Structure 1
Amino acid sequence: MTRTPTFEELFRGCQRTAVHLETRDAYMKSDPAFVDWKAGRSFDPAERWADWHDIVTEATSRGVEVCRARIVSTPVSEYIRFEYDVTDGLNIAAGESVRWLSRRDATDLALPGNDFWLFDSSLVLVNHFDGEGENMEVELTEDAEVAKLCDAAFEAVWKRATPHAQFELA
């Protein structure tokens, strides 16, 4: 059985682009950072997720374009408010570009059934979550048709989505 590479290995092997499509309204609600945020405890996102911040910063410093698009229901869920609140201090600070798209504006887009990371338009890391957004499992594929679908879906969302700095929570 082949071992799935870590995020760090995938980012280190990436040469041009790493794009991520998120389509759920909640993820890992048991995450201690979300629990702290809900309780009103402040923290530095870049410090809390230092490993992630370092991985993305290293990739963007090599010229890799890292983009994240989030499709969200409106009004947004509590978890999406949390993601929005930490985006500047984590994602943007690490060099990611982040855009948001209201689910209402995505109705006519052909989208894969799962969230994914797409590296260099050819390697797809599919994220599988349970119904509560917990217990993420990953599946790695180099299937050209899957990569093509994911690339087209991401580009369609990205083109329509609002940059983080201009997005207003509903």
Structure 2
Amino acid sequence: MLLAGEQWAARFEEFQREAWRLETLPQYLMPQESEELQEFRDGTRIDPATVHNEYTDRLRRQATQGRLQGRVHIVTRPLAEYLRFEFAWYYAPHSLAGERIRILDVTDRPNPLDGVQDFWMFDHSEVVLMNYEPDGRQINREVFEGDPAKFIEYQRIAISESVSFEEYVTGFDL
């Protein structure tokens, strides 16, 4: 089953304990980000502590309810322009709002999750495969029909092999 619109948004309102994502690509070409990406390219910088929008408000609300959202992004250095943008404009404010973001840098070591595609997992019971073109253009979101056990293991590996976003960016000029 493919997910879009309200069905997709409902996953983030209905999970009980945890929504978690694995990101594997160096860029995601999302049309709704094009203006902000251009501002970043033009040198505009933001103060992550002052970002308040629907997404950060939801993260804060969920955190007070004990409902956690997290992710691990697999990266290699040098960081792609998109990753520098994502770190500054999204990860920094989202982390401050309560999202548990971690970075798995595989620049100088084998990728323990090589070949695993992007996915979201909700409450360790539902997995949604995030299907992308190689350049980061989204194709669709597809509910995985099967046992989520391997995705739970992917999450375990990703978390154990990664560092917190805050630790990773220490010394970076976001």
Matching residue within 137, 140, 143 for 2:143: 140
Q: CA deviation at 1:77?
A: 0.8
Q: CA deviation at 1:99?
A: 0.8
Tell me how far apart the structure 2 counterparts of residues 2 and 161 of structure 1 sit (CA, whole Å): 30
Pick closer, same or farther for the CA change 1:84–1:16 going to 2, 3 Å. same
What CA deviation, in whole Å up to 9, does each residue of 1:59-114 have, x standing for no partner? 2222112111110011211111111212122x113210111111246625245532
Please name the residue that 1:107 is paired with.
Answer: 110
Matching residue within 92, 95, 104 for 1:92: 95
Pick closer, same or farther for the CA change 1:21–1:127 going to 2, 3 Å. same
Q: CA deviation at 1:155?
A: 1.2
Tell me how far apart the structure 1 counterparts of residues 8 and 97 of structure 2 sit (CA, whole Å): 15
What CA deviation, in whole Å up to 9, does each residue of 1:31-54 have, x standing for no partner? 22212211223456634xx23223
> 1:98 is matched by which residue type in structure 2?
I
SS at match of 1:150: helix
Give unmatched runs, 5+ long, in structure 1. none
Matches within 5 A, 1:31-110: 31=33, 32-43=35-46, 46-47=51-52, 50-86=53-89, 87-89=91-93, 91-104=94-107, 107=110, 109-110=112-113
Matching residue within 111, 116, 119 for 1:116: 119
| Equivalenced residues, count | 164
Tell me how far apart the structure 1 counterparts of residues 139 and 47 of structure 2 sit (CA, whole Å): 24
Q: What fraction of aligned residue pairs are identical, expressed as a percent?
A: 24
Please name the residue that 2:168 is paired with.
Answer: 167
Tell me how far apart the structure 2 counterparts of residues 133 and 72 of structure 1 sit (CA, whole Å): 14
Pick closer, same or farther for the CA change 1:143–1:88 going to 2, 3 Å. same
Pairing 1:126–2:126 present: no
Give unmatched runs, 5+ long, in structure 2. none
Which is worse superposed, 103-112 or 57-66?
A: 103-112
Pairing 1:23–2:27 present: no
TM-score by length of 2: 0.81
CA contact 2:102–2:163 (8 Å) conserved in 1: yes
> 2:65 is matched by which residue type in structure 1?
R
Q: CA RMSD in A?
A: 2.4
Tell me how far apart the structure 2 counterparts of residues 17 and 126 of structure 1 sit (CA, whole Å): 16
Pick closer, same or farther for the CA change 1:15–1:29 going to 2, 3 Å. closer
